Amino acid sequence: MDHGHLHIDRSTGDIDPASRAALRAARQGERRPSKGGRMPVSVYIPTPFRKMTGNRQHVEAEGADVREVLADVDKQFPGFHSLVFGTGDAVPAHINIYVNKQEITSLDGIATKVRDGDEVAVIPAMAGGAGDQPRRRIGALTPEQVDRYSRHIIMPQVGPSGQRKIMESSVLIIGAGGLGSPIAVYLALAGIGRIGIVDFDTVDISNLQRQILHQNDDIGKPKALSAKETINAYNPDVEVTTHQVPITSENALAIIGGYDYVINGADNFAARYLVNDACYFLKKPLIDGSILLFDGQVTVYLPDKGCYRCLYPSPPPPGMVPSCAEAGVLGALCGTVGTIQATEALKLILGVGETLHGRLLLYDALAMEFRQVRIRKDPKCVLCGEPDDPSAKVTELIDYDAFCGGAFGHTNEEEQKAADATSALREQSKV
Ligand SMILES: [Zn+2]
C-alpha cells in the first residue's frame, strides 16, 4: 500500500497518530459542505464480487459515509454486504476499502464521510498484488522464537529470513478432517502467521481414527473450533481464523481471497472443483491432496499453469468412486498425504526446491510405492484454456453440486449411506 510520506510503525503497521490527524485534516479541508448529507458516489466492484452486480464494474450509490454507501449497494444488490463483511459488521482482514484510493483505516474507517463524485472501492486481498494485502510484517525474531524455530533457522534453505517468510504467510486449509489435521498441525508448528480453517462439521467419534486435530473431549464440538484450540495449544503465536460455513459458490471467493496459499483437504468432488475454480480466478497457489482406502494423490497447481480440470475435466459418474465415508481410509495414510501437502506449502513459501507442480504424486500404501505422473496444462481446458466450444468456457463459479451429479456433494444421501454402513458394522460386531 502506498502511504506516501506517512510515518508508519514498521513493527505494528500502525500509522503514526500525527500523520493520521494530518491526513484527516487534509481530507476535511477538501470537502465541500454537504447538502442534506446524501452524496451520490461511484462504487468500484472488483472482479471477484462482480457476479453480485450483474458484472458491473461501477455501481452508483448514495450515502453520507462509507457505511451508508455500502448499505445502499446492498439494497440494490441484496447479498453484497454479507459477501464483503461475512456475518459481522466490521471490515474483515481480507478486505480493504478505499475512498479515492486512500485506505479508510487511515481516515475515519467505515464512518469516513464521502462527497459528490467520490469513488469508493472494495478490494479483497489477491495474490500477485502484495501491496493490496495488509500483510503481517515480522521484524527481528524474539529470543523465544529463535529457540522455538532453531531447527529451521540453522538450515541454510531457511535461515532467519526464511523463518520470517513463514511467519508472514497465511494459509487456508479446506476441511479440518483427515488431511486438514496433519496439515494444520505441521503448519502451526512451523509458525505460519495466519491459518484459516474452513469446516462446518462437528467432531464425531468416527473421526478420531485419523483426525489428529480432535480428541475424545472434543466430540460434539465444531471442528473449526477444536482445530483452533489444538493449533494454539501447539503454538500460541499462530493466528487462527475459523470459517464455520460450508464453502459455496457464494462465499468461496471472499474466503479464499484472504489468504496467500490454499491447501485442499476436502472430502467431496463438489468442493474440490469449487476450490480449484476459485483459486484459478483469484490466482492462488493450490496444494491438492486426496485419499481413499490405501491410496493417496498429491499435486500443486500454480496460477495460470494448469488446474484440477486439466487433470480431471469432469467428475466420475455418481457411484463410480466411493467416498471415504462409504469405503473407508487407513488413518495413517492421512498423515502421510497431509504431511506432503504441508511440506509443499512450506517449500512454496520459502521458494526452495522443486514443487509438485506438473507432477501428480501417487502413493500406494499397500505396495508401499510412490509413483509420479506428469501432468500438463490442457490448452483446451474449459477453465484455464480455450475450449473448442467457446460457450463451454467456465467464466465464473457454477453450481458444483449439479455439476458433480448431486451424490458427490456433502449430501444427505452420502451421510445416510455412511450411517447405514456403520449400523451394519455395529450389528456384525455383536455376533
Ligand atoms: Zn485447467
Domain ranges for the chain: 17-124, 143-422
Q: What percent of the chain has pLDDT over 90?
A: 58
pLDDT of residue 135: 64
Tell me, in angstroms, the distance from the centre of ligand 1 to residue 274's CA: 13
Mean pLDDT, the chain, as a whole number?
Answer: 84
Spatial contact of 286 and 301, defined as CB atoms under 8 Å apart: yes
Q: Higher pLDDT residue, 387 or 427?
A: 387
CA of 183 to the centre of ligand 1 (A): 25
Are the C-beta atoms of 182 and 335 separated by less than 8 Å? yes
**pLDDT tens-digit readout, 299-330:** 999 999 999 999 998 888 777 777 777 788 99
Determine the distance separating the centroid of ligand 1 and the alpha carbon of 245, expressed in angstroms: 27
Q: Give the percent of the chain with pLDDT over 70.
A: 80
Q: What is the CA(287)–ligand 1 centre distance, in A?
A: 15
Cα 272 to averaged position of ligand 1 atoms, centre (Å): 13
Distance 394 CA to ligand 1 centre (A): 10
Q: Which pLDDT band, with edges at 50, 70 and 90, does 84 fall under?
A: confident
Strands 170-174 and 239-243: what pairing? unpaired
User: What span, in angstroms and rounded, lies between the C-alpha atoms of 418 and 334?
Assistant: 19
Q: pLDDT tens digit string along 105-120?
A: 778 888 999 998 888 8
Q: Which three cell numbers stand for residue 230?
A: 489444538
For residues 34 and 63, the answer to whether their CB atoms sit within 8 Å is no
* Predicted pLDDT at 4: 37
Q: Residue 406 Cα, ligand 1 centroid: separation in angstroms?
A: 22
**Dist. CA 337 → ligand 1 center (Å):** 23
Q: Which of 46-55, 178-187, 259-268, 279-288 has the lowest mean pLDDT?
A: 46-55
In terms of Cβ atoms closer than 10 Å to its own Cβ (0-12, 13-18, 19+), residue 301 is buried
Architecture of domain 17-124: Roll (3.10)
Whether the model pTM is above 0.85? no
Residue 196, strand partner residues: 172, 241
Task: Determine the distance separating the centroid of ligand 1 and the alpha carbon of 277, expressed in angstroms.
Answer: 9
Cell readout for 291 is 485419499
Distance 309 CA to ligand 1 centre (A): 5
CA of 386 to the centre of ligand 1 (A): 9
Check residues 399 and 80 and name the one with the higher pLDDT: 399
Ligand 1 geometric centre to CA of 392 (Å): 13
Beta strand pairing status for 239-243 and 102-103? unpaired
pLDDT band of residue 431 (cuts 50, 70, 90) is very low
- C-alpha span between 269 and 328 (Å, rounded): 16
Which residues lie at CB < 5 A from ion ligand 1?
307, 309-310, 381, 383-384
Class of domain 143-422: alpha beta
Q: Residue 127: pLDDT above 60?
A: no
Residue 371 CA to ligand 1 centre (angstroms)? 22
What are the pLDDT digits (tens) for 170-224? 999 999 999 999 999 999 999 999 999 999 999 999 999 999 999 999 999 999 9
The per-residue pLDDT for range 209-251, each reduced to its tens digit, is: 999 999 999 999 999 999 999 999 999 999 999 999 999 999 9
Residue 255 CA to ligand 1 center (angstroms) comes to 22
Count CB atoms within 10 A of the CB of residue 224: 25
CB-based contact 373:181 (threshold 8 Å): no
CA 311 to centroid of ligand 1, rounded, Å: 7
Distance from Cα 290 to the centre of ligand 1, integer Å: 18
pLDDT mean over 284-302: 95
**pLDDT attached to residue 88:** 74
Q: How far is the CA of 305 from the centre of ligand 1 (A)?
A: 8
Distance 376 CA to ligand 1 centre (A): 9
Averaged over 405-424, what is the pLDDT?
A: 55
pLDDT for the residue 276: 97
Instruction: Check pLDDT > 80 for residue 420.
Output: no
| Residue 417: predicted pLDDT | 57
**377 CA to middle of ligand 1, Å?**
6
The string of pLDDT tens digits covering residues 353-378 is 999 999 999 999 999 999 999 999 99
CA of 299 from ligand 1 middle (Å) equals 14
d(CA 16, CA 71): 30
